[in-house]
């Protein structure tokens, strides 16, 4: 059974058992709690608790990211695929008792991270201030200094580079009679000159006017002390900020052994949040609570027995009403289950849909192999996946994904052998270039390069089978719902039309016997007439029925033509894999010297074939998925169902065995 049958469950129990019952349901993970409102009951307000859990979770997550940045967790690539660590009940209870301490450490880590960020900003500000003061460090008086009773000092900048002679010439040109002026250049760059001009007070205003006319400006933040004093103070503050940063980093790195504790805290908080999120959907009275939801029928009896044996409780099971939004849970065999992710990626089946996964999975693996179509690459996939599955204890989701690619790899080996592609033509290259032998036939069925049209027609035929399968599934649904004439109209007329047109269409690519074409014409005529008679069946008028029939005939021919042509990608991607692999082999065999040829050929094969495999696996995945979504599902699949989402243990880092969640 691909779609599990759902039942509605209602639980009534003592209020004091409410949390214990929710704990049990969360551990079993078989009940999706619904938010049905029952008159006369109140529903607990858990928003404040949920908000607090969100706050704590965010703090723990931030601490984990900070700790990972300064003291990364030591994990190998293999560890990232491994199954989560399992905890026994005693280990769980022991760890849960220290979550408050771990949360406190998280806040301390976050405070240290904030301190680092603040001090870095402060350091940047101080460095900017130091850059402002640095051009003045040779000045032994404050930049705010204005002079003596007889001499006025003008300390400031010009917006471009000057020498002291150029400044004196500037003043002399404007004030020829003035001679009592001294100029000291402190620093000069292309975009700025820092200088001190000293002039007798009797002429100081005239000198200042000349300076301003040439862009002179006093410092925006004049110092009360010589600039070197301010620079020394800034340097001390920078050193203090750097010291504070290092102290904060040292504290964070000293928490490197808290990775596991923080991981546990994140899982613990996620579980608590899910639990309180469920509690708000439970109706309560003074002494009892009522919980309603959905449960797969196969799990119902076992859960009911456990609840009744553990609590003073009343449990009832009923069938959902027709108009209820019943969740959908898929359950397929070992062959089809890995492809459930493809169905879910598109949409969960609605309550009226068949689960497309069992049949779709076969076509998915089949077409993937045709698109990758190199037996050597398929063997690499199979061997690599089997080693990983044997050596590493994987999460169930990861194991399913690898199983999907394992079946795809098996299909790839099959089609590679059919096409004669074993790492391209590496066998014949080795025979001719290294062993001096003649080439041999490698393909068991056809060579797609030399027999292109025949293989293309075969791809079209397989595509047609794929499309017809979708139509048959739709017809089965209509037959199940009592629309038997509709089931006939959706299949027989369409099949007759397309099968009749097939010999004429195929003759464009390869020679088809005239007798078969003649038979096809008659079948096409019969099918076209049936389509015209049945496609407009929903219309009430004769004109409407005829118009609908003609439009239906046009749709059948145009839609199937475009859909069938889409299956040319089965050949195109298969050719791309084989041709690129052969080019890699050809490049490796270019050198004339045999020792050099062996080295170059080996390196070209290793790196070239790995790159070719990686690229074409992605292409095969994308285009195989597209054929299911666009061509196949469009023939029968509505989707729009809601996936079954039970209350369960949603953890990222740990797995729990019969854990007892804290009250």
pLDDT band at 660 (very low <50, low <70, confident <90, very high): very low
**Dihedral angle computed from the Cα positions of residues 101, 107, 110 and 111, in that order, rounded to the nearest 10 degrees:** -120
Distance CA 515, CA 496 (A): 17
What pLDDT is stored for residue 546 in this prediction? 85
Instruction: Tell me which residue has tokens 């301490």.
Output: 101
DSSP state of 630: I
Q: What are phi and psi of 632, to 5 degrees?
A: -80, -55
Give the pair of three-digit tokens for residue 255: 């928490």
Q: Are 92 and 656 in contact, with CB atoms under 8 Å apart? A: yes
Query: Residue 530: beta bridge partners?
Result: none
Distance CA 116, CA 122 (A): 10
Strand bridging mode 654-656 / 85-87 = parallel
Give the pair of three-digit tokens for residue 144: 């705010």
What pLDDT is stored for residue 81 in this prediction? 66
Distance CA 417, CA 201 (A): 102
Per DSSP, the chain holds a count of helices (H) and strands (E) of 20, 10
What pLDDT is stored for residue 544 in this prediction? 82
Q: Average pLDDT in the 384-394 region?
A: 90
359-362, long-range: CB within 8 Å, 24+ apart, which pairs? 359/469, 359/473, 360/628, 360/632, 361/332, 361/335, 361/336, 361/407, 362/335, 362/336
536 Cβ contact partners less than 8 Å away, ≥ 6 residues apart? 544, 545, 546, 547, 548, 549, 551, 552
Distance CA 147, CA 198 (A): 8
| CA-based max dimension of the chain | 123
Side-chain half-sphere exposure of 291, counting CA atoms within 13 A: 25
Range list for CATH 3.30.70.2750 in the chain:
145-218
Give the pair of three-digit tokens for residue 402: 């690898």
Give the pair of three-digit tokens for residue 359: 């049949």
For the cut 60, the answer to whether the pLDDT of residue 111 exceeds it is yes
Strand positions, DSSP E, 509-597: none
Tens of pLDDT, residue by residue over 331-382, are: 999 999 999 999 999 999 988 888 999 999 999 999 999 999 999 999 999 9
Burial pattern 55-77, b for ≥16 Cβ within 10 A else e, equals ebbebbebbbebbeebbeeeeee
Query: Residue 3: beta bridge partners?
Result: 330
Neighbours of 611 (CB within 10 A): 12
For the cut 80, the answer to whether the pLDDT of residue 391 exceeds it is yes
Give the pair of three-digit tokens for residue 457: 């027609």
For the cut 50, the answer to whether the pLDDT of residue 450 exceeds it is yes
pLDDT band at 440 (very low <50, low <70, confident <90, very high): very high
**Secondary structure of 303-335 in the HEC alphabet?**
HHHHHHHHCCEEEEEECCCCCCCCCECECCCCC
What pLDDT is stored for residue 76 in this prediction? 66
Distance CA 96, CA 263 (A): 12
Q: Are 410 and 375 in contact, with CB atoms under 8 Å apart? A: no
Tens of pLDDT, residue by residue over 474-533, are: 999 999 989 999 999 989 999 999 999 999 999 988 999 999 999 999 999 999 999 898
Q: Average pLDDT in the 285-309 region?
A: 91
Q: Average pLDDT in the 392-417 region?
A: 93
For the cut 60, the answer to whether the pLDDT of residue 1 exceeds it is no
> Which CATH number fits the domain 145-218, given the four candidates 1.25.40.10, 1.10.8.190, 1.20.1250.20, 3.30.70.2750?
3.30.70.2750
What pLDDT is stored for residue 662 in this prediction? 42
212 Cβ contact partners less than 8 Å away, ≥ 6 residues apart? none
Give the pair of three-digit tokens for residue 82: 């491994």
Side-chain half-sphere exposure of 188, counting CA atoms within 13 A: 13
Tens of pLDDT, residue by residue over 65-94, are: 999 999 988 776 666 667 778 877 677 778
Q: Are 62 and 285 in contact, with CB atoms under 8 Å apart? A: no
pLDDT band at 400 (very low <50, low <70, confident <90, very high): very high
Burial pattern 556-571, b for ≥16 Cβ within 10 A else e, equals bbeebeebbebbebbb
């Amino acid at each position: 059974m691909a779609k599990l049958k759902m039942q509605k469950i209602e639980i009534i129990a003592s209020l004091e058992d409410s949390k214990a019952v929710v704990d049990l349901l969360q551990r079993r993970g078989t009940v999706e709690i619904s938010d049905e409102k029952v008159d006369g009951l109140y529903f607990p307000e858990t928003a404040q608790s949920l908000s607090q859990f969100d706050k704590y979770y965010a703090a723990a997550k931030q601490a984990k990211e900070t700790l990972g940045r300064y003291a990364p967790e030591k994990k190998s690539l293999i560890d990232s695929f491994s199954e989560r660590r399992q905890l026994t009940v005693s280990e769980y209870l022991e760890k849960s008792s220290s979550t408050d301490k771990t949360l406190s450490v998280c806040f301390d880590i976050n405070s240290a991270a904030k301190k680092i960020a603040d001090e870095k900003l402060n350091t940047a500000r101080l460095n900017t201030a130091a850059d402002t003061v640095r051009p003045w460090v040779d000045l032994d008086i404050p930049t705010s200094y204005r002079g003596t009773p007889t001499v006025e000092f003008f300390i400031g900048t010009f917006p471009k580079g000057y020498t002291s002679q150029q400044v004196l010439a500037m003043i002399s040109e404007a004030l020829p009679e003035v001679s009592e002026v001294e100029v000291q250049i402190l620093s000069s760059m292309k975009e700025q000159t820092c200088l001190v001009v000293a002039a007798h007070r009797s002429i100081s205003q005239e000198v200042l006017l000349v300076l301003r006319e040439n862009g002179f400006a006093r410092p925006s933040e004049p110092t009360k002390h010589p600039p070197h004093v301010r620079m020394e103070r800034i340097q001390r503050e920078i050193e203090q900020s750097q010291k504070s940063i290092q102290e904060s980093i040292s504290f964070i790195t000293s928490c490197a052994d808290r990775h596991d504790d923080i991981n546990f805290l994140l899982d613990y908080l996620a579980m608590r949040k899910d639990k309180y999120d469920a509690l708000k959907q439970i109706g309560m009275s003074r002494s009892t609570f009522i919980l309603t939801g959905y449960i797969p029928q196969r799990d119902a009896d076992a859960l009911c027995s456990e609840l009744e044996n553990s609590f003073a409780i009343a449990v009832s099971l009923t069938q959902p009403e027709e108009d209820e939004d019943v969740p959908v849970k898929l359950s397929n065999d070992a062959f089809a289950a890995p492809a459930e992710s493809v169905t879910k990626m598109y949409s969960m089946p609605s309550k009226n849909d068949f689960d497309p996964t069992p049949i779709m999975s076969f076509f998915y693996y089949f077409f993937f192999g045709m698109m990758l179509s190199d037996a050597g690459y398929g063997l690499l996939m199979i061997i690599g996946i089997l080693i990983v599955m044997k050596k590493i204890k994987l999460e169930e989701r990861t194991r399913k994904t690898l199983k999907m690619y394992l079946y795809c790899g098996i299909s790839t080996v099959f089609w590679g052998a059919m096409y004669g592609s074993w790492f391209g033509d590496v066998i014949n290259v080795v025979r001719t270039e290294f062993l001096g032998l003649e080439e041999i036939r490698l393909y068991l069925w056809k060579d797609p390069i030399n027999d292109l049209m025949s293989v293309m027609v075969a791809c079209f035929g397989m595509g047609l089978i794929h499309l017809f399968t979708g139509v048959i599934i739709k017809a089965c649904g209509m037959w199940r719902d009592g629309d038997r004439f509709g089931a006939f109209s959706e299949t027989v007329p369409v099949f007759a039309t397309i099968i009749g047109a097939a010999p004429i269409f195929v003759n464009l690519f390869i020679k088809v016997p005239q007798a078969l074409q003649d038979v096809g014409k008659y079948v096409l005529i019969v099918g076209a007439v049936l389509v015209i008679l049945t496609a407009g069946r929903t219309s009430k008028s004769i004109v409407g029925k005829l118009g609908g029939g003609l439009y239906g005939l046009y749709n059948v021919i145009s839609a199937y033509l475009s859909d069938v042509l889409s299956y040319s990608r089965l050949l195109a991607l298969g050719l791309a894999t084989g041709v690129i692999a052969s080019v890699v082999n050809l490049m490796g065999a270019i050198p004339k010297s045999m020792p050099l040829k062996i080295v170059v050929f080996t390196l070209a094969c290793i790196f070239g074939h790995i790159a070719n495999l990686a690229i074409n696996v992605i292409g095969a995945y994308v285009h195989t998925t597209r054929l299911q979504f666009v061509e196949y599902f469009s023939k029968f699949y509505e989707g729009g169902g809601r996936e079954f989402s039970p209350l369960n243990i949603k953890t990222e880092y740990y797995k729990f065995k019969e854990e007892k969640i804290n009250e």
